[in-house]
């Protein structure tokens, strides 16, 4: 059985959510646990209630909405994403996955379709990690990757505790933040956030897994001194050593897997004065690859480059691993459900590995998971300019709906 979602209703619902925390630049400022996030959460609960779903909120604010199946013992299919945004994010990232899941149950209701398995929608707490670290926090707590008390204690830049904010906005729920039963599958639709689909002319992405990721913070301890009076041979310049590593990191992927990416995104110099030799430089490295073996090699080479660069300037250093996310291979069953739906709908689907982490990373440790990617214009992401055409929103949501229906077993088919 194939269904066709209501494109106009999908677009209308996307616009409704985009009005909550909307920016003048046409994007979203809807940080996790802010007032705007509360408003978006309330809107989601209202939509789910209007669709006749039972909603429940867990102790970390993850919000579930359940459409019962005909088999009371069947494990449910979970579908959703997140409604929080980056500080200057776009209107699609996260929201498209939640809206598409809503549109799925509305379409089933329109058509009077029952499923053997329950279908649950989910809005995860704090996927972005922009206000409180880490990213994918709510799904991580739910999947048991993080301790809930430690995450409650996280603070934002103003020192506000996450737990207090959750309480304040009324989303510290009564249900335990954990899977309350076995789940059959988790499906998530998300914009690609990269250029791959657009470049290959594909309609949708059939996501077969998520790259592994290693983050580190590196500190180099040079010696501050006067830039005019200190001969070059007397210098221990922390920024020079850091620059060597930045260059090496840029070169690293070309010597490893063809899908390796490596980035130095953040760098801080102290004392940061035009005429003082840099004493301390702290910077981050972000290494990703679908292969754990390649990642291990990448980390080893990065560390060797740091050691060599520090040695050249005669300085000490520290390397601290700050995030270690193993690569995820989605199992065949849900991936093929996505692939079959794509093919049946006549879309050109492209199999690909996600370069970004998603809530599906954690969900995949609880049950079979898979993802659908929508085309991102120019691959733009985490910016107000993020763009997915309504045609692409429709196509990808249609794939999500049909794959979910397949996994949930339409009754009477």
Binding site for its own copies (CB under 8 A): 192-196, 211, 213, 215, 224-232, 234, 237, 239-240, 242-244, 246-247, 250, 253-254, 260-269, 272-278, 284, 286, 288, 322, 354-357, 379-383
Residue 121 CB, nearest distance to its own copies (Å)? 25
Residue 230 CB, nearest distance to its own copies (Å)? 6
First to last CA, the chain: 6
User: Cβ closer to its own copies: 3 or 224?
Assistant: 224
User: Cβ closer to its own copies: 216 or 341?
Assistant: 216
Residue 102 CB, nearest distance to its own copies (Å)? 25
3-class secondary-structure state, position 353: strand
How crowded is residue 238: how many other Cβ atoms within 10 Å of its Cβ?
29
Give, for 219, the enclosing helix (H) or strand (E). Answer: strand 212-221
Residue 150 CB, nearest distance to its own copies (Å)? 20
Residue 216 CB, nearest distance to its own copies (Å)? 9
> Which phi and psi (to 5°) does residue 113 adopt?
-90, 130
User: Cβ closer to its own copies: 169 or 245?
Assistant: 245
User: Cβ closer to its own copies: 160 or 263?
Assistant: 263
- Euclidean distance between CA atoms 403 and 413, whole angstroms: 15
Residue 211 CB, nearest distance to its own copies (Å)? 7
Residue 409 CB, nearest distance to its own copies (Å)? 33
User: Cβ closer to its own copies: 241 or 397?
Assistant: 241
Pinpoint the alpha helices (H) of 72-212. Answer: 95-111, 137-142, 148-152, 162-168, 196-200
- Euclidean distance between CA atoms 337 and 130, whole angstroms: 33
Question: How far from 376 is each of 182, 203, 305, 339, 382, CA to CA, in Å?
Answer: 33, 11, 34, 19, 11
Question: How many residues make up the chain in this entry?
Answer: 413
How crowded is residue 343: how many other Cβ atoms within 10 Å of its Cβ?
13
User: Cβ closer to its own copies: 269 or 319?
Assistant: 269
User: Cβ closer to its own copies: 115 or 285?
Assistant: 285
Residue 139 in contact with residue 210, Cβ under 8 Å? no
Exposure string of 356-388, with b = 16+ CB inside 10 Å and e = fewer, is bbbbbbbbbebbbbbbbbbbbeebbbbebebbb
User: Cβ closer to its own copies: 116 or 380?
Assistant: 380
How crowded is residue 312: how many other Cβ atoms within 10 Å of its Cβ?
13
Single out the residue of 400, 407, 348 nearest to residue 107, CA to CA: 400
């Amino acid at each position: 059985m194939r269904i066709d979602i209501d494109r106009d209703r999908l677009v209308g619902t996307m616009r409704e959510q985009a009005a909550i925390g909307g920016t003048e630049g046409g994007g979203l400022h809807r940080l996790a646990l802010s007032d705007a996030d509360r408003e978006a959460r309330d809107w989601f609960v209202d939509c789910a209630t209007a669709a006749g779903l039972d909603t429940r909120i867990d102790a970390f604010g993850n919000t579930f909405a359940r459409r019962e199946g005909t088999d009371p013992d069947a494990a449910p299919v979970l579908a959703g994403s997140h409604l929080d945004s980056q500080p200057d994010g776009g209107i699609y990232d996260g929201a498209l996955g939640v809206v598409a899941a809503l549109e799925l149950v509305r379409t089933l209701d329109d058509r009077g379709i029952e499923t053997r398995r329950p279908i649950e929608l989910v809005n995860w707490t704090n996927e972005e990690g922009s206000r409180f670290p880490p990213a994918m926090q709510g799904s991580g707590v739910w999947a048991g990757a993080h301790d809930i008390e430690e995450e409650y204690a996280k603070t934002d830049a103003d020192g506000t505790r996450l737990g207090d904010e959750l309480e304040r906005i009324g989303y510290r729920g009564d249900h335990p933040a954990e899977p309350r039963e076995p789940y059959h599958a988790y499906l998530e639709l998300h914009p690609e956030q990269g250029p791959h689909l657009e470049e290959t002319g594909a309609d949708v992405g059939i996501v077969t897994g998520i790259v592994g990721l290693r983050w580190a913070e590196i500190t180099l301890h040079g010696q501050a001194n006067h830039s005019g009076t200190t001969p070059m041979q007397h210098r221990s310049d922390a920024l020079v050593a850091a620059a060597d590593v930045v260059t090496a990191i840029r070169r690293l992927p070309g010597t490893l897997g063809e899908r390796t990416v490596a980035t130095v995104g953040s760098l801080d110099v102290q004392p940061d004065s035009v005429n003082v030799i840099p004493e301390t430089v702290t910077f981050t490295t972000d290494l990703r690859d679908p292969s754990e073996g390649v990642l291990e090699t990448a980390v080893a080479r990065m560390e060797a480059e740091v050691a060599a660069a520090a040695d050249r300037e005669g300085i000490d250093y520290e390397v601290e691993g700050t995030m270690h996310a193993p690569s995820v291979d989605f199992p065949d069953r849900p991936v093929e459900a996505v692939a079959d739906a794509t093919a049946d709908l006549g879309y050109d689907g492209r199999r690909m590995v996600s370069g970004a982490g998603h809530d599906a990373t954690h969900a995949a440790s609880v049950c079979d998971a898979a993802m659908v990617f929508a085309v991102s214009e120019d691959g733009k992401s985490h910016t107000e300019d993020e763009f997915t055409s309504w045609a692409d929103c429709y196509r990808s949501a249609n794939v999500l709906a049909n794959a979910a229906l397949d996994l949930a077993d339409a009754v009477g088919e």
